[in-house]
Structure 1
């Protein structure tokens, strides 16, 4: 068993030693949903856009025209996701409970029997106060939750799938590396084409099933994380 733990820790250490003195690598785009959507064959345009008289018309109805609709509408299109989160919540709970109880039982006289028993009992004991109990319990609980989150970001996302009901599944990923720290932003979800503005933008509150991940990896993030041994100890120790 000791050898097994030693091998596990050695493998974990080797994986971390590979990054010593090196900046974190970017996540590859090849093989992702965005990559496949970009390189897929576009769907043919609607016949209405190239109907009779299209070639002789001064203004065309296609998306590439001056007044065409350039909003994302099909697989491979790009739109801008605007994330402006400013949420705050505060919850306070207080609970109090108190109980006091007292019981007494005695037999001062019963055909002279208590008096006969008192003679055999230790000094100071009497059947007149055979049982005398009292109890007190008290409980008090207080809970306080305070949360404040503020996030303002803009990221370009790609339409990776067009569902049969017309809803678009989007996915966006942005990575910025500064020195040896890599900040990454990931946005995924489902949007309706009607909710996309004329500026080809959509706010996060109109994304169904939105998943927004903003974090990083690198030397600073690595230092802020507890060691593997401490994480295992926190999960196993009952106290």
Structure 2
């Protein structure tokens, strides 16, 4: 238990230190590396020495070299490590408007003309006046009205190179790409991931974002401007958990 607390405290201190350094120096770009989130842990990326020697060896009386990728063949991505271009062109608009109006009213009354002669005694008990014909009376009314509207417009036109990180059993390709651009003290981040069919990849080795299944596209940034535009953490907590 004590060890866990020490590790947690160390992690929090490192996170706070990283945040402070970023606030002073500005955001840093992430190191270049192979996309790891969707890559199988058992995947081998580099060929063995035997495969390298076989690739350099040429067959007798042949223009084809063993291990060559292609001659006049298809250059589209189809294996782990291949790169393809993703064209992101999002131009969505949505507008919804709803109006609800509901009303209900009820009126119930009842009386007793004779009650073993006790109706007169009840009249004496209520000197302000008593009418046996109107002993019970109830009224109710309920009104509800609601109105809501949604208007949304999104437009993103970007291009990013993605890497094939896995080939599924049915031949579909799992892709993932990430791009970072730093301008002064602001970093713009673009990520894309999903599953594509090899036959949807064009002859130019490109694919549209609408042809990516389970697409995950993120476009954002971090830095001084993004931090100033964000709501403070304490205010966000108050707004989220406030019952009023």
What TM-score results when the alignment is normalised by the length of structure 1? 0.79
Following the alignment from structure 1 to structure 2, what is the Cα–Cα distance between the partners of residues 165 and 159? 15
Task: Give the structure 1 partner of residue 168 of structure 2.
Answer: 163
Residue 18 of structure 2 corresponds to residue 21 of structure 1: no
- Deviation digits for residues 9-49 of structure 1 (CA, Å, limit 9, x no counterpart): x9576443212331311111236439x89x922597xxxxx
Task: Give the structure 1 partner of residue 89 of structure 2.
Answer: 84
Q: SS of the residue aligned with 2:234?
A: helix
1:143 to 133, 142, 148: 148
Following the alignment from structure 2 to structure 1, what is the Cα–Cα distance between the partners of residues 198 and 59? 24
Task: Give the structure 1 partner of residue 178 of structure 2.
Answer: 173
5+ long unaligned stretches in structure 2: 1-8, 52-57
Following the alignment from structure 1 to structure 2, what is the Cα–Cα distance between the partners of residues 73 and 18? 42
Task: Give the structure 2 partner of residue 198 of structure 1.
Answer: 203
Task: Give the structure 2 partner of residue 59 of structure 1.
Answer: none
Report the CA distance shift for 1:41/1:108 in structure 2 as closer, same or farther (over 3 A).
same
Task: Give the structure 1 partner of residue 63 of structure 2.
Answer: 55
Report 1:74-113 matches (<5 A).
Answer: 74-110=79-115, 112-113=117-118
What TM-score results when the alignment is normalised by the length of structure 2? 0.77
Report the CA distance shift for 1:126/1:164 in structure 2 as closer, same or farther (over 3 A).
closer
5+ long unaligned stretches in structure 1: 1-6, 45-49, 57-61
Q: How many residues align?
A: 220
**224-233 vs 189-198, which moves further:** 224-233
**224-233 vs 113-122, which moves further:** 113-122
Quote the offset at 1:53 in angstroms: 6.4
Following the alignment from structure 1 to structure 2, what is the Cα–Cα distance between the partners of residues 31 and 77? 11
Question: Root-mean-square deviation (CA), in Å?
Answer: 3.2
